[in-house]
């Protein structure tokens, strides 16, 4: 009985200490301690701490902790932890209170030194989908009355991708027409993609009395085209990134699954100026379409990516510059590179008004405002076709323009270049973080997107 009473009071005391501690700077500092640290090779990092801690690292060949800090922090003095990145790789940092109690395990990702060439060039994007995308249904008239769409009856939905008909690959709209005409009233085996999963079904076409052709009752599309901006080119791996956001189908709003595609040069012919409630746009034409700049291999939330075959020769930068990781970006002045006339890339002033701290890749990382009078006079701010325009701060490529605020065309969103480089395969992805990133409170253990 006495033992239970003692445990009860100890538990109460522990809760009281935690509640009181949560209001202190120490607790708040600890709660904000990063679960992951990302750095470049050859960089110093200092973690200011108001508690006596030491740290050990799982791979000292990647990360070196200065011994003087370890010695000072093992007592009651409160010194920052300082460490140096030696080589690229991933390691784990275990932080110990009083040099004994493990209170935090942090993943440290060290990237090799990296420089890329910022873009800013206007590009034409020609994208073919993986199969054909279903963008709508229509009824088929079969002798005086309309019947329900055969495809709708077969549970073929808007947003599905038709990839095979009767075992034959479907790559173009014409492939569907050919199979339907040959099959007539015979059932057709359909293989489709829905939410990334393959499904099979059977459909039977109906003969349309208007033109005596067999129809499935579907509206389908196999391609998309538009204008955007090149963000970067990596001269070592010969890969590029552009747009800064996903390409979606015009009717369904769904991301387009890439079959193949290419980027070509684009010439800006005029600008429709942006106004409140009415986003502006670049009007442009594809230029020298037979001279392909690169292919399109990926269409992700952070843009389009592929292999670069030809570097546009109208860039503002012809040499690589460093990049900044997301936690190195700060509020304040910056510049963007973009084209507003012809093919000339120009530099314009902007202000980064807010940096959204992100532990994991997310598309909206920056809120930016155009401050350059020249750009405001020409475009009214951010316009369609400007997405992908590189953002440069303190001589480093930090991100890309992605969206405009409809009610305020001078402002919009940007994404961090770090996430684009991950999708391009230039740096290692951190999206699937190992679940060993945890925190500890005096023997109480809990796992910590």
Cβ 123 vs Cβ 339: under 8 Å: no
C-alpha distances (whole Å) from 170 to each of 159, 176, 188, 221, 367 are 16, 7, 13, 12, 42
Provide the 3-class DSSP secondary structure of residue 341.
coil
Cβ 379 vs Cβ 249: under 8 Å: no
Q: Is 58 one of the annotated active-site residues of the chain?
A: no
C-alpha distances (whole Å) from 66 to each of 12, 89, 113, 289 are 39, 19, 22, 56
Cβ 357 vs Cβ 374: under 8 Å: no
Counting Cβ atoms within 10 Å, is residue 113 exposed (0-12), middle (13-18) or buried (19+)?
A: exposed
Q: Other C-beta atoms within 10 Å of 226: how many? A: 17
Kindly name the residue from 234, 245, 266, 389 that is annotated as catalytic: 245
Name residues whose C-beta falls within 8 Å of residue 228's C-beta, 6 or more positions apart in sequence.
122, 123, 125, 242, 243, 304, 385, 387, 388
Kindly name the residue from 59, 251, 327, 372 that is annotated as catalytic: 372
Cβ 242 vs Cβ 173: under 8 Å: no
Name residues whose C-beta falls within 8 Å of residue 419's C-beta, 6 or more positions apart in sequence.
302, 326, 361, 362, 363, 365
Q: Is 372 one of the annotated active-site residues of the chain?
A: yes
Question: Per-residue DSSP letters for 209-269?
Answer: TTTTEEE-SEEEEEEEEEEEEEEEEETTTTEEEESSS--B-TTT-PBPPEEEEEEEEEEEE
Q: How far apart are CA 390 and CA 395, in angstroms?
A: 12
Kindly name the residue from 149, 387, 389, 411 that is annotated as catalytic: 387
* N-terminal to C-terminal alpha carbon distance within the chain: 44
Provide the 3-class DSSP secondary structure of residue 202.
strand
Q: How far apart are CA 124 and CA 228, in angstroms?
A: 7
Name residues whose C-beta falls within 8 Å of residue 413's C-beta, 6 or more positions apart in sequence.
363, 364, 365, 366, 367, 368, 401, 402, 403
Residue 330 backbone class (left: φ over 0; alpha: ψ -120 to 50; beta: rest) = beta
Q: Is 245 one of the annotated active-site residues of the chain?
A: yes
Provide the 3-class DSSP secondary structure of residue 327.
helix
Cβ 263 vs Cβ 255: under 8 Å: no
Supply the residues annotated as catalytic: 245, 372, 387
């Amino acid at each position: 009985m006495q033992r239970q009473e003692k445990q009860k009071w100890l538990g109460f005391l522990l809760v009281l200490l935690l509640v009181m501690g949560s209001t202190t700077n120490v607790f708040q500092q600890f709660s904000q301690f990063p679960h992951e640290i990302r750095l470049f090779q050859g960089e110093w990092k200092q973690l200011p701490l108001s508690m006596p801690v030491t740290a050990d690292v799982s791979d000292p060949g990647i990360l070196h902790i200065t011994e003087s800090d370890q010695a000072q922090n093992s007592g009651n003095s409160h010194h920052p932890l300082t460490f140096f990145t030696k080589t690229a790789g991933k390691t784990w940092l275990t932080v110990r209170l009083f040099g004994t109690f493990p209170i935090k395990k942090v993943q440290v990702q060290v990237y090799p030194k990296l420089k890329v060439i910022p873009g800013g060039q206007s590009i034409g994007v020609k994208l073919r989908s993986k199969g054909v995308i279903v963008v709508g249904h229509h009824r088929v008239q079969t002798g005086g009355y309309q019947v329900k769409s055969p495809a709708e009856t077969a549970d073929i939905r808007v947003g599905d991708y038709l990839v095979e008909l009767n075992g034959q690959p479907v790559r173009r709209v014409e492939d569907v027409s050919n199979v339907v005409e040959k099959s007539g009233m015979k059932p057709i085996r359909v293989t489709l993609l829905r939410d990334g999963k393959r499904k099979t079904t059977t459909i039977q076409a109906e003969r349309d009395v208007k033109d005596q052709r067999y129809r499935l009752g579907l509206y389908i599309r196999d391609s998309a085209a538009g204008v955007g901006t090149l963000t970067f080119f990596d001269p070592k791996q010969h890969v590029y990134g552009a747009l800064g956001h996903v390409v979606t189908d015009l009717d369904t709003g769904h991301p387009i699954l890439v079959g193949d595609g290419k980027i070509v040069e684009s010439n800006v012919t005029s600008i429709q100026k942006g106004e409140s409630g009415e986003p502006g746009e670049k009007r442009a034409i594809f230029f020298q379409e037979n001279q392909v700049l690169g292919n399109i291999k990926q269409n992700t939330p952070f843009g389009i990516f592929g292999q670069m075959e030809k570097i546009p020769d109208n860039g503002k930068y012809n040499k690589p510059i460093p990049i900044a990781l997301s936690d190195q970006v700060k509020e304040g002045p910056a510049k963007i590179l973009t084209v507003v006339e012809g093919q000339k890339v120009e530099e314009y002033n902007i202000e980064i008004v807010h940096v959204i701290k992100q532990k994991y890749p997310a598309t909206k990382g920056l809120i930016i405002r155009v401050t350059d009078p020249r750009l405001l006079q020409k475009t009214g701010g951010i316009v369609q076709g400007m997405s992908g325009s590189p953002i440069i701060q303190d001589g480093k490529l930090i991100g890309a323009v992605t969206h405009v605020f409809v009610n305020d065309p001078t402002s919009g969103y940007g994404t961090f270049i770090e996430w684009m480089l991950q999708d391009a395969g230039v740096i290692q992805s951190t999206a699937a973080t190992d679940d060993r990133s945890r925190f500890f409170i005096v023997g109480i253990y809990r796992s910590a997107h």
